[in-house]
Structure 1
Amino acid sequence: MARQRMTGKQRREQLISIGRSAFAEQGFDGTSVEDIAARAKVSKPVVYEHFGGKEGLYAVVVDREMQDLERRITESISTGSWRERIEQAALALLTYVEEETDGFMILVRDPSSKQDRAFSTLLNTAVSQVSHILGTAFTHRGFDENLAVLYAQALVGMVSMTAQWWLDERQPAKEVVAAHVVNLCWNGLSKLETSPKLGSQKLIDAPATPDQTEA
C-alpha cells in the first residue's frame, strides 16, 4: 500500500518540528540543510522550497517560540495583586522551560546574532509589561514612577538568569524556585527606600560626630 503523501502545509509543519529539534541539539551553526532534509527523509530542495534555506527555517522557529513565551507571560500578569503577578510571571517562564525545553534552549543558547536580538526583544517586552505594573505600585506608594523601568530590568533579569540555571538543574520544583525568587524580589520591594545610596556614599554624606570634628 502506497504511503500517503503529505500536503504542503503538513510538510512545512514537519520541517519546522524537525528544525526545532535540530537547532536545540546542535545550535544554528551546527545544523545544516542536509541534516534537516535527512531527518525529514526529503531532498534538500524541499527545504529550500518551503523556507529558502536554513536561515528562513530558523527565523520561523524562533518567531514561534517568541510568540508562545510572550503569550504565556502576558497572560500570567493580566490579573492578581502586584505580588501575585510577579509570582505568576516567574512560574510561567519556568513552566515554559519545563514544557518547551527545546524552544528555550534555542532562545538562550544559540550564539547567532539572530537569537541575541530575539531573546533581547522578548526580555524588553517583559520589562515593559512589568514596568507598567511597578509604575502603578510606585505611584500608589509615593515612589518615583520613572524608576519603575530600572526595577523592572532588575526583576526580569533575575528571573531570566534563574530560569537558565534551572534549565539544567530542574531542582527544586518550579513552584519552589518561583516562590524563592519572588521572596527575594518582594521582600526587597516591601522595604524599598525612596532615595537609596551605596554604603560608601552614606558614610560620605553622614554628618560628622563630635569625635570626628575634633580629630
Structure 2
Amino acid sequence: MPPKRTRMSASQRREQLIAVARALFADRGFEGTSIEEIAHRATVSKPVVYEHFGGKQGLYAVIVDRELTMISSTITEALRSSSSPSVIVERAALALLTYIENSPDGFRLLLAGSDRAAGTYSTLLSDVAIQVSGILAAQFRAHGLEASTAPLYAQMLVGIVAMPAQWWLEDRSMSKEAVAAHMVNLAWNGLRGLQPDPALRHPPALS
C-alpha cells in the first residue's frame, strides 16, 4: 500500500520538499538523488516537485542558498562586536560549530559544493576572511604592525577555524567548546607574539 498523502498548503509542501531533498542530497549527493526518490519520500507526484522548483537543480540551488545565508548571518553576527583577535576566533569558531551541530546535513551540502549552485563553503570562507581582515587591520595599526598584511593573517585565522570544523563534523570526541578553545589557543598564542618584520629562522642555503 502506498504511503498516505498529507494535505498541505503550498508553503508547507515547499518546506517539506526542501527538508526531504536536503537529507537526500547530503547523504547521496546531487547525482545520486533523483526527483523520483524525493517525490516518493514526500508522498507526492513528480510534477509537484517540478511545480515548486522547476526540477532537481532548482531545488538543490534553493537548499544550498538557504544554508549559506544561515551560516553566513550567524558568523557575521558573531563577528560584529568583536574587538580582539582572540574574541574573533572564539566567536567565529563557536558560531560555525553550533551551525554544524544544528545542521550537519546543511554543512555537508556546503562542503560538497557544486557548479549547479553559486553558494559553497569556499564562498563563505572568502566572505568571512574579508570581515576578519578589516578587524585585524585596525588592530595591527593600533599595535604598530603593518596593516597591509591583515588579509594574509585573516586567511590564516579562517583556516584555523575552517579545517577543524570539517573534522568535527565527523568526529565528535570533543565538545564544540573544547574545539573552539583549542582553536583560540593556537591562534592567540601565535598572534600575541607577532613580530613587525618577521623573517625565516632557517632560510634555504643559496646555491
- How high is the TM-score relative to the length of structure 1? 0.88
Q: CA deviation at 1:193?
A: 1.4
Partner SS state of residue 62, structure 1: helix
Which residue of 138, 151, 156 maps to 2:140? 138
Deviations 1:85-119 (A, max 9, x none): 321111110111111111111111x2633468522
Determine if contact 1:139/1:145 at 8 Å carries over to the other structure.
yes
Deviations 1:128-156 (A, max 9, x none): 11111111111111111111111111111
Which residue of 85, 89, 92 maps to 2:88? 85
Q: Map residues 1-215 of structure 1 onto 2, 5 A cutoff.
A: 5-82=7-84, 83-108=86-111, 110=112, 112-114=114-116, 118-201=120-203
Structure 1 vs Structure 2 CA RMSD: 2.0
Determine if contact 1:107/1:115 at 8 Å carries over to the other structure.
no
Q: CA deviation at 1:195?
A: 1.6
Structure 1 gaps of 5+ residues are 205-215
Q: CA deviation at 1:79?
A: 1.6
Determine if contact 1:16/1:61 at 8 Å carries over to the other structure.
yes
Determine if contact 1:62/1:107 at 8 Å carries over to the other structure.
yes
Partner SS state of residue 194, structure 2: coil
More helix by share: 1
Q: CA deviation at 1:168?
A: 0.9
User: Which letter maps to 1:92?
Assistant: A
Paired positions, count: 202
Structure 2 gaps of 5+ residues are none
Determine if contact 2:140/2:146 at 8 Å carries over to the other structure.
yes
Q: Which runs of 4+ in 1 moved over 3 A?
A: 114-117
CA distance in 2, matches of 1:111, 1:78: 27
User: Which letter maps to 1:78?
Assistant: R
Q: CA deviation at 1:5?
A: 2.2
Change (3 A) 1:179 1:115: farther
User: Which letter maps to 2:93?
Assistant: A
- How high is the TM-score relative to the length of structure 2? 0.91
Determine if contact 2:64/2:119 at 8 Å carries over to the other structure.
no
Determine if contact 2:49/2:55 at 8 Å carries over to the other structure.
yes
Determine if contact 1:24/1:106 at 8 Å carries over to the other structure.
yes
Q: Answer with 1 or 2: which has the greater Rg.
A: 1
